[in-house]
Homo-oligomer: A and B are copies of this chain.
Amino acid sequence: MTIVDVAARAGVAISTASVALNDRPGVSEATRQRIREVADELGFIPSVRGKSLSARRAFALGLVVQRDTAVLEADPFFGAFLGGVESILTGRDYALVLQMAMESADALQRYRRLASDRRVDGVFLLDIRTDDARVPLLQDLHLPAVGMNAPDGFPFPSVRQDHAAGIASLVNYLIGVGHTRIAHVTGAPGFIHTEQREAAWRESLAAAGLEPGPALPGDFTYEGGRRAADRLLGVADRPTAVICANDLTAIGLMTRVQELGLSVPDDISVAGYDGIELGSYLRPTLTTVRTAPAEIGAEAARLLLDAIDGAGVSDVDVAAAALQLRESTGPAPRLTARTPRT
């Protein structure tokens, strides 16, 4: 069923059928109606292939994910993010092309390929790094892109969620219940969001007039959390609370702390970041900061489509990340609270 069949059946030229079906001016309402009826009757649906070639558009967006499988597996971000993206694309007759890359060089190659193949009209940029090699590449390829939580000066539009607010509310809660030494387990180095979260932690403490506790290096993994726990407990003047860069790290840390005979939250409060479902299945349940991946996905898709259409685009903000208090955080231990008085 092509537009040729429709035109023939309706007794008009192909161009007339095209104009009529695309709601462009230049056809009388009567013929437009007739062509529509014929098209419906024949079950005509325009071929994306033909449209692509003619319109010089792929009608598809690209997403290259490059994450460690272990991290990916425990990451709630993707399912929800994809759902958000899809919710927008469907209505606009766009499709999503997904690529998986194992390592960074591989990922660059995927982008290059997507561009030279002309398979997609634009791409999503997740997990942005400082000096991200994808940025100059995409600029070079002239491929529209949209970033998630991009840093200042980012050359593409971006969807931002205020993580500082989430971290701040967490820090303020901890301060409110008596903690004064609050540590941080960072994410993997090189990622913008690792830096954003660490900076937010540091600034929130500074705003409250407190010295930052130790910042322990993490890598977003469970094992990284366990290692951080071992280092944390060896620190002189041990912190009474720890904010981890993500939930998985927090879970690893919490598990290890418990193995070493300490109580969470009585001896030490632990908080994660992301709001993964699993956090509510643990004992104690994990305090975390809930992000909004579905909204981020939807906004990103909207932004990218607008950018492709050449519309003027500016960054958009989604609701700030929200504190989700659960059992793994609580008042600072009395012993610690008394220390200053002695």
Contacts and interface: CB of A to CB of B under 8 A. Distances in A.
A49 B45 contact: no
A99 B100 contact: no
Given A73-B79, A79-B72, A281-B251, A98 B96 contact: yes
A68 to B, nearest CB: 10
B95 A82 contact: no
Interface stretch (A114-122, A124-132, A195-203): A114-122
B99 A97 contact: no
A119 B48 contact: yes
Contacts of A53: 49-50, 52-53
A278 interface: yes
Given A82-B100, A100-B82, A277 B222 contact: yes
Which of A86, A102, A276 is packed against the most chain B CB atoms within 10 Å?
A86
Q: Give the bracket for the number of chain A residues in contact with chain B.
A: 35 or more
A326 to B, nearest CB: 14
A31 interface: no
A58 interface: yes
A117 B73 contact: no
A47 interface: yes
Contacts of A283: 255, 258, 283
Interface of A: 43, 45, 47-50, 52-53, 58, 60, 69-70, 72-74, 76, 78-80, 82-83, 86, 90, 93, 95-100, 102, 116-119, 222, 251-252, 255, 258, 276-278, 281-283
Given A60-B97, A252-B281, 4 more contacts: A74-B277, A90-B99, A95-B99, A255-B281
